[in-house]
Structure 1
Amino acid sequence: MPFIRSNDIVLFYRRAGRRGAPRIAFANSLGTDVAIWDEVANALAADFDLLFYDKRGHGLSEAGPTPRGIRDHADDLTGLLDHVGWQDTMLCGLSVGGLIAMDLAVRAPARITRLVLMDTAAKIGTPDAWNARIDAVLKDGVASIGEAIMARWFSPAYRVEQPEAFSGWRRMLERTPVGYAETCKALRDADLTDAITGISAPTLVIAGGSDLSTPPSLVEETARRIPGAVFRIIEGAGHLPCIERPTDVAALVRGFSDMPTQ
């Protein structure tokens, strides 16, 4: 069954790839579900054992009691890793998933063999901006901010070249349940600026060159704080390179997995 109870909530998860191969777990961005990784999974499945999940309050997972912070999200993921029997893994986190990944790498370094942080930062946004978004969502629903979020998620070219896909991803965002606002609160309150200087796992940090949610300069600033981190930009991609440039993402992840450690 692709459902488990972890940290007192029910999570949906999906396995892909080749069992027994090198492991990679993926943590999603705000307002998304496991589908955002489909093309990346297709590119990596022959050589890796892959784990995806809907974080609390997203997709098919429960929201659970509130409020909950980034540490709770990381504990959810730890419970999932325990369930599938993974004592350690390479971990790829996108946006808020990156904060979840960073928190886990700081608090449980033995469980993270390598870290991939994509379109994320140790601190994202300001309290005022997050409070305004939370108020809008609680009052009028996620759909009320859908157009503005999509403009930050995707490059202008993607909207023109892939209108059907753009529409589908907007439906995914706008159908995110109550967990969207609660995860905004977790983002508002999260600041790992000092903590990430202690990350010991080899780290790759990726930014979409056209990302308006976490601009490349912000992502690079986080990369500079992590000892030995490698920073790469995927030109032409917005906040979700796994959708816009899945082949490039898969190539970077594959290359990083083969990179010797010091």
Structure 2
Amino acid sequence: MDGKAQALFLHGLAGKAAVWDPIAAALPDRFATTRPDLPWHGMADPAWAHLPDPGRYLVDAVWDGHDVVVAHSMAAMLLVECYAQGRVRPRPTVLLCPFYRPDPADFDWPTISYYLNDFHRTFTEALRVGETARFPESRREWLARSLRDQVGPYGWTRWFETYLRTPLLDLGAIGAPVLVVSGVDDVAARPEDGRALAKALPRARFELLDGCGHFPMIEQPDRLAALVRDFFEESLELT
């Protein structure tokens, strides 16, 4: 399309396409962006999770014409899985706050308990740093639990079973350059997850953002935009 490099942005669970606006706006004019609302966007019909294989939605979203991709949280995890399985052609990719464990033994009962019983904390963090930051804490807590309930048990199960599969992926099959970005203060996708994923990928590097949690595109948009822009240009050898 019009000779520009095509950049695809994929939001996480209960996110929305508009979260990428500051990052997309900071890219040079040589990039055109696609920012779809995925089936698991905020307050979506939870029926998206009633069937297995949420990766099929990414197979539909990532076209051959997309030159580079940025994926956040759940979408990052699903994209890695689709790359490893050969369902989507790997291309230069930024994985933002991904979930990953290198060994099945990393999933113990306390881990499951944390992600089940404190699942709403991720949404609380999003509301704390987003446009709802002006709301009182009690209101944000209520909204976070409402988002959790909207995602529902099926949505949580699709998310967590994808997480459980991460140690079993053939990451050696992903030969494209990858930038993995994590936040020091992320209460959902631990920085250790991102570091381990970058180490396991053949052509990845890891960037850790100080003073940042699970939503760098909101918390540190200028810094993230610079990282994305530089990575894109380096990967595509643009001048």
- TM norm structure 2: 0.76
Q: Give a deviation string over 1:38-92, Cα, whole Å, max 9, x none.
A: 21122126331111223223237554464444xx33321222345xxx4443121
Deviates more, 1:200-209 or 1:99-108: 99-108
The percent identity for this pair of structures is 19
Aligned to 1:53: 36
Find the aligned partners of 2:70 and 2:92 in 1 and give their Cα distance.
Answer: 9
Instruction: Count matched residues.
Output: 227
- Taking a change above 3 Å as real, the CA distance of residues 217 and 73 of structure 1, as seen in their structure-2 partners, is same
What is the identity, as a one-letter code, of the residue corresponding to 2:56? D
Find the aligned partners of 1:113 and 1:166 in 2 and give their Cα distance.
Answer: 42
Q: Please state how far the C-alpha of 1:228 moved relative to its aligned partner.
A: 2.0
1:90 counterpart = 2:68 = yes
What is the identity, as a one-letter code, of the residue corresponding to 1:195? D
Find the aligned partners of 1:219 and 1:153 in 2 and give their Cα distance.
Answer: 19
Q: What pairs with 1:38-77 in structure 2 (closer than 5 Å)?
A: 38-44=21-27, 46-59=29-42, 62-64=45-47, 66-69=49-52, 72-77=53-58
Aligned to 1:99: 77
Unpaired segments of 5 or more residues in structure 1? 1-17, 137-143
Q: What pairs with 1:9-158 in structure 2 (closer than 5 Å)?
A: 20-44=3-27, 46-59=29-42, 62-64=45-47, 66-69=49-52, 72-82=53-63, 86-108=64-86, 111-123=89-101, 126=107, 128=109, 130=112, 146=120, 148-150=121-123
Residue 183 (structure 1) aligned to one of 139, 142, 155? 155
What is the identity, as a one-letter code, of the residue corresponding to 1:103? E
Q: Whose strand fraction is larger, Structure 1's or Structure 2's?
A: 1
Find the aligned partners of 2:146 and 2:178 in 1 and give their Cα distance.
Answer: 32
Find the aligned partners of 2:193 and 2:37 in 1 and give their Cα distance.
Answer: 26
1:192 counterpart = 2:192 = no
- Taking a change above 3 Å as real, the CA distance of residues 213 and 51 of structure 1, as seen in their structure-2 partners, is same
Aligned to 1:11: none
- TM norm structure 1: 0.70
Q: Give a deviation string over 1:157-192, Cα, whole Å, max 9, x none.
A: x59xx8328989875884477445333212221222
Would the aligned equivalents of 1:208 and 1:237 in 2 still touch at CA under 8 Å? yes
What is the identity, as a one-letter code, of the residue corresponding to 2:224? V
Would the aligned equivalents of 2:5 and 2:31 in 1 still touch at CA under 8 Å? yes
Q: Please state how far the C-alpha of 1:119 moved relative to its aligned partner.
A: 0.8
What is the identity, as a one-letter code, of the residue corresponding to 1:213? A
Aligned to 1:209: 184
Aligned to 2:198: 223
Find the aligned partners of 1:219 and 1:59 in 2 and give their Cα distance.
Answer: 24
- Taking a change above 3 Å as real, the CA distance of residues 35 and 172 of structure 1, as seen in their structure-2 partners, is farther
| SS across alignment from 2:54 | helix
